[in-house]
Amino acid sequence: MAHGDPGPGETFENIRNSIAVASGKGGVGKSTVAVNLAVALAETGARVGLIDADIYGPNVPLMMGATEPPEVREGKIQPIERHGVKMVSMGFFLKEDEPVVWRGPMIHGALRQFLADVNWGELDYLLIDLPPGTGDAQISISQLLPLTGAVIVTTPQGVSLSDARKAATMFDKVRVPILGVIENMSYFLVPGSGERHEIFSHGGGARFAEQHGFNLLGQIPLYQGVREGGDLGVPVALREPESEPARIFKEAAARLLEICGSGAAQQARQRQSVVFQPVRK
């Protein structure tokens, strides 16, 4: 990897594919999706890295069960490895419950370091768990790294979708292709009876994907084991591999492998701004 300050468009030859996991709104399950996709991709034998780009609210360490500070060797941060995934997070460098009080340019500096000063080695996939919104971290990441594309996470409900549209529009402006949409908290199956409840409505993410010509990568149910896996540091895709959400995460990861491998992302980049027409509601 290049030392120093990577400029716009600099290629990281050791990173084959870099995928931002984004949403407009907080709490919709970005970090949950990022860690589950990361472990599911790693299970296929791919070499996977994960950057926690949520500098103010880093959740990846807890969700992956890793809290120890990384070693620095020869001026390079050694990523922490858990469940077959290499990671870096601001959370590793903070004391518990310590807040980050930083301005935008410092966020850029931290993310630059997460890319250039971490000994990632060769990676097939680098996932980037973004904070909500369309702010500093989103802009920095798309400037620092030639992203293969972004995965948008949304719940099916109106407010989340409206924010997801904003996120998609932002990526379109910086010419980052949308690789797909994950509709999270899509439905709830009552344990035992299997009765289905659609707490946050249903199908909004699927319609959003369809309207814009994005791939629908999966519809993840609200499921207690998803939350538990996050709190216990073992993503549900590993902890309950036979569960419905685990199955859907693994299918979504397989679909991402296909999309990245087929060159569809590059084609989407070329078509971009022609294909993506924000739908006004």
220 binds, among ligand ADP, Mg ion, none (CB under 5 to 8 A by kind): ligand ADP
- Nearest approach in angstroms of CB 275 to Mg ion is 28
How many residues form the binding site for Mg ion (CB under 5 A)?
Answer: 4
C-beta of residue 160 within 8 angstroms of C-beta of residue 24: yes
- Nearest approach in angstroms of CB 231 to ligand ADP is 7
C-beta of residue 38 within 8 angstroms of C-beta of residue 31: no
Residue among 226, 234, 238, 260 that touches ligand ADP (CB under 6 A): 226
Point out which span in 28-36, 180-188, 213-221, 243-251 binds Mg ion (CB under 5 A): 28-36
Residue 93 has which token pair?
A: 């460098």
Task: Decide if residue 80 touches ligand ADP (CB under 6 A).
Answer: no
Task: Decide if residue 138 touches ligand ADP (CB under 6 A).
Answer: no
Task: Decide if residue 31 touches ligand ADP (CB under 6 A).
Answer: yes
CA distances, 236 to each of 83, 246, 250 (Å): 12, 6, 11
Residue closer to ligand ADP by CB (options 125, 223) is: 223
Task: Decide if residue 31 touches Mg ion (CB under 5 A).
Answer: yes
54, amino acid identity? D
Point out which span in 15-23, 31-39, 141-149, 180-188 binds Mg ion (CB under 5 A): 31-39
C-beta of residue 112 within 8 angstroms of C-beta of residue 8: no
Q: Enumerate the β-bridge partners of residue 34.
A: none
Residue among 17, 18, 23, 157 that touches ligand ADP (CB under 6 A): 23
Between CA 143 and CA 153, with CA 148 as vertex, the angle to 5 degrees is: 95
Residue 67 has which token pair?
A: 């809290």
Task: Decide if residue 157 touches ligand ADP (CB under 6 A).
Answer: no
**Terminal C-alpha separation, the chain:** 44
27 binds, among ligand ADP, Mg ion, none (CB under 5 to 8 A by kind): ligand ADP
Task: Decide if residue 185 touches ligand ADP (CB under 6 A).
Answer: yes
- Nearest approach in angstroms of CB 55 to ligand ADP is 13
C-beta of residue 87 within 8 angstroms of C-beta of residue 80: yes
Beta strands in the chain (DSSP E): 15-22, 48-52, 72-73, 76-77, 80-82, 85-89, 123-129, 149-154, 178-189, 196-197, 216-222
Task: Decide if residue 30 touches ligand ADP (CB under 6 A).
Answer: yes
Task: Decide if residue 91 touches ligand ADP (CB under 6 A).
Answer: no
Point out which span in 83-91, 140-148, 170-178, 219-227 binds ligand ADP (CB under 6 A): 219-227
What is the CB neighbour count within 10 angstroms for residue 1? 17
Residue 145 has which token pair?
A: 């790294």
Contact residues: Mg ion, CB under 5 A: 30-31, 54, 59
Residues that bind ligand ADP (CB under 6 A): 23, 26-32, 59, 184-185, 220, 222-223, 226-227, 230
